[in-house]
Structure 1
Amino acid sequence: MAKTLGVHIVADFYGCDSEILKSADKMAEVFEGAVKHANLNKLSSYYHQFEPFGATGVVVISESHLSFHTWPEHGYVAIDVYTCGDHENAFKAFDYIVEKLKPEKIEKEVHFRGVVNEEEEVTFCASVG
């Protein structure tokens, strides 16, 4: 029987509050909160503030990563949430981000990645804890 190793949510958010999207610090609060809310295991993070405004960032987790890149002048942010392990955690993190950014429109694709036989032992993507 086949199973998937990871779930990858790729989304475009439109109509978000440009004041949040302008700030790397405000976006970091959202993404750090998503990691905690979904019980993911943070390894590191990096956020960059663009001038005059806009931000990009990534949170590396033992399960993979969450990332964003903003265009505040358009109220737009590109979101990426990829986790292995319990797929439910990816959706918890994503829903938290939606709750905080309150987009007017979402275009989302969900990819289930790494189809393997359940009989195969997989140890390369282990959660910490």
Structure 2
Amino acid sequence: MHGLHLTADLHDCRCAARWLVDASLLGAACRDAAQAAGLQVVGELLHTFAATRHGPGGVTAALLLAESHVCVHTWPERKAVTLDVYVCNFGADHSAKAQALMAELLALFEPRHAERHALQRGG
């Protein structure tokens, strides 16, 4: 149950708009980033929200990892994203892999401002 839980709230993202509205594209990028970090993707769920009077709908990409999960939620009308990366450290310490995955996702969205948090879980 010991693990590292990383979160980030991204503001004023300068990435191409497609990363905020295309669930399939975002899912593939998350999958590639997780695998590049050495994490094992075992499932995924992608969802595109309907457009509103404020603009195009955002997307959610949730990947189930053998080590735990990664979730990305976008708000294209605000150029905002929330990131959630959690890895269990049962049997091995995957903390560096979680940090690498988070860094890759931050680079993808190019935020002008990011509020980041790290929580060590499981006493």
Verify same fold: TM over 0.5. Answer: yes
CA distance in 1, matches of 2:68, 2:103: 17
Partner of 2:118: 110
CA distance in 2, matches of 1:47, 1:15: 23
Q: 3-state SS of the aligned residue for 1:39?
A: coil
Unmatched tracts of structure 1, length 5 or more:
116-129
Partner of 1:84: 88
Partner of 2:66: 62
CA-to-partner distance for each residue in 1:45-80, whole Å, 9 max, x for gaps? 010011222101200011110001111000001110
The offset of 1:40, in angstroms, is 0.4
- Out of 88-97 and 10-19, give the one that drifted further: 10-19
Partner of 2:54: none
Consecutive aligned runs of 4 or more in structure 1 exceeding 3 Å deviation: none
Map 1:14-53; keep pairs closer than 5 Å. 14-16=11-13, 17=15, 18-52=17-51, 53=57
| 8 Å CA contact retained: 1:11, 1:79 | yes
Partner of 1:122: none
The offset of 1:37, in angstroms, is 1.4
2:8 counterpart of 1:11: yes
Pick one of 90, 99, 104 that aligns with 2:107.
99
Q: 3-state SS of the aligned residue for 2:122?
A: strand
Root-mean-square deviation (CA, aligned residues, Å) is: 1.4
Rg larger in 1 or in 2?
1
Q: 3-state SS of the aligned residue for 1:15?
A: strand
- Name the count of aligned residue pairs: 112
| 8 Å CA contact retained: 1:6, 1:84 | yes
Identity within the alignment, %: 29
